[in-house]
Chain A
Amino acid sequence: MIKFFLSHSWKKFSRSVSFGKEMTTTLFLAFLGVMLVGYALALGFGLNHIIIKGLKIDDSVTFLNGLLLYYFGFEFVLRFFFQTLPVLDAQPYLHLPVKKSGIVHYLLIKSMLNVINLLPLLLFAPFAFVAIAPVYGTLAAWIWLPGIWLTGIMFHYLVILFKKELDDSIWGLIILIGLFVLFGAIDYYGWFKLSDVSAFMFTAFITQPLFILIPIALSTGVYFLCYYFFRQGMYIEGMSRQKNDLYGVTKDISFLNSFGNIGAWINLELKLILRNKRPRNIFYLSLFFLSYGLAFYTRKQYAEDMPGFLLFVSTFVTGTFMINYGQFLFSWQGGHFDFTLTQPVSIRNYVEAKYWLLCSVTIICSVLSVPYVYFGWQILAMQLAAAAFNLGINVFIILNMAMWEPKKMDLKKSTVFNYQGVGAAQWLMGFPILLGPYVFYLPFSLTGYSNVGILAVGLAGVIGIVFRKKFLAITTNRLIEKRYVIAANFRKEG
């Protein structure tokens, strides 16, 4: 049975419309993965040496154990952003003589194939045998390492559970942020020392081998909790849209209707965003990323030593929605592209509606990020330049990139089992957009005129805004040319 699932997963991947495109990203990701593995392994071998020689700490074992909780915190964040829910479109199998429990176990176990789960082994295996085994004995090393690995596995399933159950609401994000603030506060105010707790917990594996039973029990427990929830979701009704929760609040914005067809399309797209889980999450996420600036603008060293880096932050803060939603700009409405083509609207209106939607949200984000002026006028200037660049240049890059072999988004099945996750691949597509401003910035900043560079970025944006009609016309013509290919792609499933 597992053989069939594996072969079906592979076929789904290799026969999909964007196989070539995904292949490139997959290769790139694989390359990144190999690099990561290499670095982790190198770090792992050097770990003991670094602690003893570099940090001048004698008891490297207790010290490392004290850091492990922080490590798991970092790992959790990594998992939260890069780990996607295990996916298998289970519906076609439900009526076949296949055990439902088998499907769920397959999904859950397959999900373990993840570089992040390899990370603790790479980092700490050398340490276990270099530092722990000689002092505390081989048995201790053999207990300590699996203990850590199993703790990681526990977090692995915890993240799956977390994403599956709380992903639909903004509560997931709030809880996560709350937890981190709590732990940060504990550490900062010194109510008790996290490192002591950590050292106590993980040193226990070394002193008493039987403590290994705790992570075994915990990870098994979380696994079966996952199993329980996934098993519950194995009904068709659990896979379709469940609630009509946002129906009431997502009425037309009547003011938009005064803009004719363009306004009508924007109203339609707003409903799409607010009523469907995935675009809604992107929307929430871009609100969250507005605060991204706090992480960077507050640091003096960025402002003084590498102001160029902050340009990247500005582009991101003002343009997250544009970048994240925009990559799939046409895919979101892929389910009714045939409808769009047969209605009495010009493609130009359709493209313009999308243009204005992206621009309005970008303008709103830019206005909301004005308070960053608190960290200096320089920051505000950079934000404005980045916003102009997003509105004048990036929006057209996105509009045109989104026409590149788009795939239909399955909005209807977007709950439980069909989460086409926001993983690393989508973030990669953002690179040309985020690097664009540097084409204008670097020539000036490298010759010592970084302020002129920022001005150049802003100016490029303004020029784009001024000539928007021309760019819109080019974009429209491209869409008209590509309409048959795009429509054919959208008629295929996934």
Chain B
Amino acid sequence: MISIKDLKKEYKGTTVVDVTELTIAQGESFGLVGNNGAGKTTLFRMILDLIKPTSGEVQISGKNVQTTDEWKKYTGSFLDENFLISYLTPDEYFKFVGQLHGYSDADLKNFYAVFEELFNGEIQGKTKYLGDLSKGNLKKAGVAAAFMGNPQVVVLDEPFENLDPTSQIRLKDLLKQLQRERNITYLISSHDLNHVTELCNRIVILEKGQVIKDLKGSSNILTELEEYFKA
């Protein structure tokens, strides 16, 4: 689904990301962990063609993200507040994103049904603008919007950050459920090792922009991760 080749990003001589080869299969839940400054967000931004790589390329479904727009139709993403429109209410925002994906009213209704529990009555039908929402509710709105247009790939940066414990558990269960039902390919970064290991069947540790460990399928991923981060 996603393949990265010789991807490199340098800022004034400092290498921030340097990934020789990385392939993520369709339906795989790919977790990305690493300490601050490891290059997680930069890598995600290059996958979404928001930053120009110094060299190398990213392909989604065999198409180079830099030269085509195709992938945008089936790739949902939420990295930070730059993905939200601060002067719209959540409803208007969902309607707008839905419009870009050709949503009908029924589609929009289905969408709300899926996220009703996560929204917890604090997002739908409110007249507060997104710019005035709390960080937790912003996160929920952004993550939900990433699922509009029935995407095959969903890229989320720190989806659990700022969420209250109840919402964290709900989001985790919802993400799992959606993947079961729709076979979505996830790219999720997180600092919460418990959540990310529960959600993802493959975890990559990034350090100084390089893939240090690529852990797949084994039952004791969490222990391995804890070993690494202790050091």
Q: Interface on A for B, CB 8 Å cutoff?
A: 240-241, 244, 247, 257, 261, 264, 268, 271-272, 275-276, 335-339, 341-346, 411-412, 484, 487-488, 490-491
**Chain B interface mostly:** loop
Q: What is the minimal beta-carbon distance from A172 to any residue of chain B, in angstroms?
A: 22
Cα of A261 to Cα of B129 in the assembled complex, Å: 22
How many Å from the CB of B216 to the closest CB on chain A? 28
A-B contact list, 6 entries, CB within 8 Å: A241-B132, A247-B89, A341-B49, A343-B100, A488-B51, A491-B82
Question: What is the distance, in angstroms, from B13's C-beta to the closest C-beta of chain A?
Answer: 17
What residue in chain A is nearest B97 (Cβ atoms)? A343
Residues of A within 8 A of B86 (CB): 335-336, 411-412
Instruction: Return chain B residues, CB-CB under 8 Å to A244.
Output: 127-129
Chain B residues within an 8 Å CB radius of A411:
86-87, 131
B82 touches A335 (CB 8 A): yes
- In the bound assembly, the distance between CA atoms of A215 and B131 in angstroms comes to 44
Asked if B83 contacts A336 (CB within 8 A), the reply is yes
A238 → B minimal CB distance (Å): 14
- Given contacts A276-B87, A339-B82, list 13 more A-B pairs with CB under 8 A: A241-B131, A244-B128, A244-B129, A268-B88, A335-B85, A336-B86, A338-B79, A338-B83, A339-B84, A344-B101, A412-B86, A490-B82, A491-B82
Q: Which 8 A-B pairs have the closest CB atoms?
A: A338-B82, A484-B52, A344-B72, A344-B73, A339-B83, A412-B131, A264-B99, A275-B87
By a CB distance below 8 angstroms, the chain A residues around B97 are 343
Q: What residues of chain A lie closer than 8 Å to B51, measured between beta carbons?
A: 484, 487-488
A67 to chain B, nearest CB (A): 47
**Residues of chain A with a CB closer than 8 A to B72's CB:** 342-345
> Is B149 on the interface with A (CB-CB < 8 A)?
yes
CA distance A493 to B77 in the complex (A): 22
Answer yes or no: B28 CB below 8 A from chain A CBs: no
Enumerate chain B residues within 8 angstroms of A335, measured Cβ to Cβ.
81-82, 85-86
A268 touches B100 (CB 8 A): no
The yes or no answer to B75 lying at the interface (CB within 8 A) is: yes
Chain B residues proximal to chain A, CB less than 8 Å: 48-52, 69, 72-73, 75, 77, 79-89, 92, 96-97, 99-101, 127-129, 131-132, 149
Q: Is the beta-carbon distance between B87 and A272 smaller than 8 angstroms? A: yes
**CA–CA, A342 and B101, complex, Å:** 12
Total cross-chain contacts (CB, 8 A) = 82
Instruction: Please indicate which of the listed interface residues A261, A272, A344, A491 has the most CB atoms of chain B within 10 Å of its own CB.
Output: A344
Residues on B with C-beta less than 8 A from A338 are: 48, 50, 79-80, 82-83
Provide the residues of chain A in CB contact with B83, threshold 8 Å: 336, 338-339, 342
B85, A342: Cβ atoms closer than 8 Å: no
Q: Is the CB of B77 within 8 A of A342?
A: yes
Which residue of B is nearest A333, CB measured?
Answer: B85
CB of B79, distance to nearest CB on chain A (Å): 7
- Measured CA separation A334–B128 after assembly (Å): 21
Q: Are B96 and A336 in contact (CB under 8 A)?
A: no
CB distance from A250 to the nearest CB of B (A): 9
Contact between chains at A344 and B69 (CB < 8 Å): yes
**Interface residue from B48, B69, B96 paired with A264 (Cβ < 8 Å):** B96
Once bound together, how far apart are the Cα atoms of A488 and B128, in whole Å? 28
Q: Are B99 and A336 in contact (CB-based, < 8 A)? A: no
**Neighbouring B residues of A247 by C-beta, 8 Å:** 89, 127, 129
Interchain CB contact under 8 A, B82 and A240 = no
* Residues of A with C-beta under 8 A to B96: 264, 268
Partner of A337, one of B82, B99, B132: B82
Given known A-B contacts A338-B50, A344-B73, A268 and B85 have beta carbons under 8 A apart: yes
Q: How far is the CB of B32 from chain A (nearest CB, A)?
A: 18
- Min Cβ gap A276→B in Å is 6
- Report the bound CA distance from A484 to B54 in whole Å: 12
CB distance from B70 to the nearest CB of A (A): 9
* Distance A257 CA – B81 CA, assembled complex (angstroms): 26
Residues of chain A within 8 A of B73, CB atoms compared: 344
Residue of B nearest to A345 (CB): B100
CB distance from A479 to the nearest CB of B (A): 13
Measured CA separation A317–B85 after assembly (Å): 32
Name A246's closest neighbour in chain B (CB-CB): B87
Tell me the complex Cα distance, A344–B52, Å: 19
Chain A residues with CB under 8 A of B132: 240-241
Among A257, A271, A337, the residue within 8 A (CB) of B92 is A271
- Distance A276 CA – B87 CA, assembled complex (angstroms): 8
CA distance in complex: A247, B132 (Å): 13
Complexed CA–CA distance, A240 and B130 (Å): 12
In the bound complex, do residue B50 and residue A342 qualify as a contact, i.e. CB atoms below 8 Å apart?
Answer: yes
**Could you say which of B84, B87, B92 has the most chain A C-beta atoms within 10 Å of its C-beta?**
B87
The answer to whether B82 touches A346 (Cβ under 8 A) is no
- Complex Cα distance, B148 from A339, in Å, reads 13
Complex Cα distance, B100 from A346, in Å, reads: 10
A248's nearest neighbour on chain B, judged by CB, is B127
> Looking at A275, A336, A411, A487, which has the most chain B CB atoms within 10 Å of its CB?
A336
Residues of chain A contacted by B131 (CB below 8 angstroms) = 240-241, 411-412
Residue of A nearest to B72 (CB): A344
Residue of B nearest to A274 (CB): B87
B210 CB → nearest A CB, Å? 23
**Inter-chain contacts of A487 with B (CB < 8 A):** 50-51
Contact A342–B100 (Cβ < 8 Å): no
- What residues on B are CB-neighbors of A276 within 8 Å? 87
Min Cβ gap A129→B in Å is: 56
Q: How far is the CB of A331 from chain B (nearest CB, A)?
A: 13
Cα separation A275 to B131 with both chains bound (whole Å): 12
User: What residues of A have a CB within 8 angstroms of the CB of B92 in the complex?
Assistant: 271
CA distance A261 to B103 in the complex (A): 12
- Which residues of the other chain, A, contact B69 by a CB distance below 8 angstroms? 344, 346
Residues in B neighbouring A337, C-beta threshold 8 A: 82
Q: Pick the most buried of B48, B73, B83: most chain A CB atoms within 10 A of its CB.
A: B83
Asked whether A336 and B149 contact (CB < 8 A) given A241-B132, A342-B72, A344-B73, the answer is: no
